[in-house]
Amino acid sequence: DAGVTQSPTHLIKTRGQQVTLRCSPKSGHDTVSWYQQALGQGPQFIFQYYEEEERQRGNFPDRFSGHQFPNYSSELNVNALLLGDSALYLCASSPGLFAYGYTFGSGTRLTVV
């Protein structure tokens, strides 16, 4: 049973560019959340998607946007990249709203230069 799959694993971008990160949830999970983890910090909640809609959003600017597809996979888009966007981006899936138990993917390491 495949867990949460994220791609790419590593990415280097230049300031001002745009990036798209992808996530396939664990089989049987329909809810996807995205987290940003800066070096030496705990993960910070970006947003959550359920039924192709953004359900909740953390304290992140509009440069961060997302999408969920009918097959429950999700994308995270970041526009106008800043050096401070360099981080590990984690996708977590769960079996429905209000369900406990999140499964995290291996993450995408984004470096902005």
Partner 1 sequence: ELKVEQNPLFLSMQEGKNYTIYCNYSTTSDRLYWYRQDPGKSLESLFVLLSNGAVKQEGRLMASLDTKARLSTLHITAAVHDLSATYFCAVDDKDFGNEKLTFGTGTRLTIIP
Residues lying near partner 1 in the complex (CB under 8 A) are found at 31, 33, 35, 41-45, 48, 55-56, 58, 90, 92, 97-98, 100-107, 109
Nearer to partner 1 by Cβ, of 13 and 55: the residue is: 55
Nearest-approach distance from CB 102 to partner 1, in angstroms: 7
SS3 annotation, the chain: CCCCEEECCEEEECCCCCEEEEEECCCCCCEEEEEEECCCCCCEEEEEEECCEEEEECCCCCCEEEEECCCCCEEEEECCCCHHHCEEEEEEEECCCCCCCCEECCCEEEEEC
Which residue, 17 or 56, is less far from partner 1 as judged by CB?
A: 56
Shorter beta-carbon distance to partner 1: residue 70 or 100: 100
